[in-house]
Chains A and B, each alone.
Chain A
Amino acid sequence: MIVAERKPFEEIKAMVAGYKRVLTVGCGTCVAVCLAGGSKEVATLNAELQLALGKDEISLGAATVERQCDMEFLAELDSLAVEYDALISMACGAGIQFLAERFPDKPVLPAVDTSFIGVNLDVGWYEEKCRACGTCVLGMTGGICPVTMCAKSLFNGPCGGTNNGSCEINTDQPCAWYRIYERLSAQGRLEQIMEVSPANDWSNQKPRKIIQPGYQERIKALQG
């Protein structure tokens, strides 16, 4: 899932300053699971803003849609949004942008910092796992991502800073390449990393679009 963190309150407060009627929009998917931007977090943020700014200064509304990254769900907000001067989005960066695209005449303000694609280690505890580089090498590296889990994103590690199984940046951070070695060694697959891995294709350096096979014709028709 996409993991986000709520922004510091003072930063949000500064952004909404001057807007009388503000609608806080939550997202019911990733950010709800990671406890950053679901309906519960929308209610908490609104309560904090109301308390800090007072009833005369601001009037707040709340709405949480299933997914802000889907126009179909954003359409549910059409009749509500017109009543507000500004919208706060508690979705990930994709949702925030899609909300802004749906209501281009409204200021859309982010209340969370989108952090990473990660996994749930426990309630409230998440770890980054994927940088969406666009060229997955997990088959070669024993299911451990060198782009994400190695602090230098090395394809032919470990570097000279590997430190008895830890990364040079922090003894709490495992060395990705140490773990890749251990796992492939245990699986008898070290030949996977004996060859020099070539320079990566960093396709995530430009905005990307994907149309799945079988949908090309339909999309072409939609785009006119």
Chain B
Amino acid sequence: MDMKSGSRLERVLKAGHFAFTGEVGPPRGANVEALKKKISYLKGKVDMANITDNQTAMVRMSSWAAALFCLQEGLEPNYQMVCRDRNRLAMQADILGAYSHGIRNILCLSGDHQMFGDHPHAKGVYDIDSMQLIAMVKKMRDEGKFQGGADIDEPPRMFIGAAANPFAEPFEWRVHRLAKKVKAGADFIQTQCVYNMAKIRQWVKRANDMGLTEKVYILAGITPMKSVGMANYMKNKVPGMDVPDEIIKRLKGVEKKKVAEEGIKIACEQIEEFREMKGIAGVHLMAIEWEHRVPEIAERAGMLPRPEV
């Protein structure tokens, strides 16, 4: 089979399997043991794990360094890169370094604004945006050229990921923005956490109608709700998040001890529905600070064993 990167994720998707990916946040320090522990929960349970890049604009161990630990521990990383902290020179240098160490997936993101983090006075770089980052990684891979045009001595062959938010207004524009990311060179998409199933069905249908899902693999984002408080926070405080009232009602409808259980149940039902949804190629499980529950969720959602590819 003709492979762009040969990453496990690419092989899983191209073989027609329903992909199941996870996420690991690097430590706020050099605590390698804590990182390895998180990785151990996901190993063998997901096809690959996103390694976040200074998420919410808080300084953490760099994503490429944490991705290398992930690789060493036998879990394929998806190296996240945001546009907030680096210019195009640093980005390309890091991509070459990451690739040369065996990293094969990259997720291209804008990044949360620096004012949200622990260094709100930092200069946001945004030399290029996420769309231009996708195009840059593609040019490096397919043309063997740097963004500036010079030849690369041994181009990095990355499987290129991008994010999509199917819910943010203007809704009509969302699918066109997806189309732009596909045009720029995205091979796979990971969506914002999905709670509004009716709306994502509508979005995926449009993507199907435009022929986009034949060109890109879409993995739907899943984050199980741990508590009613978390659901309310996601609904009211997180920009671009769409949490329907029925989700909150359902969580409120069970005993307090069983809310987390209900959250996992909802997530499993969503995964079940996504498996059957035309245009969805997998799910991306973002179990934030809940990595130890991933094996159980994977098992209950029928995602195990992961395919050999």
Contact = CB atoms under 8 A, between A and B. Distances in A.
B170 A154 contact: no
B206 interface: no
A152 B129 contact: yes
B153 interface: no
B110 A194 contact: no
B168 A160 contact: yes
A165 interface: yes
Contacts of A156: 129-132, 177, 180, 184
B129 A155 contact: yes
A164 B112 CA distance: 17
A181 B113 contact: no
A168 B192 CA distance: 15
B83 A152 contact: yes
A203 to B, nearest CB: 13
B183 interface: yes
28 contacts: A151-B124, A152-B110, A152-B111, A153-B126, A153-B129, A154-B130, A156-B129, A156-B131, A156-B132, A156-B177, A156-B180, A158-B168, A160-B192, A160-B239, A161-B110, A161-B240, A162-B240, A163-B239, A163-B240, A168-B113, A181-B170, A194-B176, A194-B180, A196-B131, A199-B127, A199-B128, A199-B135, A200-B128
A158 B126 CA distance: 14
Given A161-B112, A197-B131, A168 B183 contact: no
B168 A162 contact: yes
Interface of A: 151-166, 168-169, 178, 181-182, 185, 190, 194-200, 202
A196 B239 contact: no
Nearest to A163: B239
Interface in B57-71: none
Q: Select the residue from A158, A178, A182 with max chain B CB neighbours within 10 A.
A: A158
Interface of B: 83-84, 88, 110-113, 115-116, 124, 126-132, 135-136, 147, 163, 165, 168-170, 173, 176-177, 179-180, 183-184, 192, 239-240
B147 to A, nearest CB: 6
A194 B175 CA distance: 11
A196 to B, nearest CB: 5
Contacts of B112: 161, 168
Q: Select the residue from B130, B170, B180 with max chain A CB neighbours within 10 A.
A: B170
A178 B170 contact: yes
A159 B110 contact: yes
A159 B131 CA distance: 10
Contacts of A151: 113, 115, 124
A174 to B, nearest CB: 12
B282 to A, nearest CB: 20
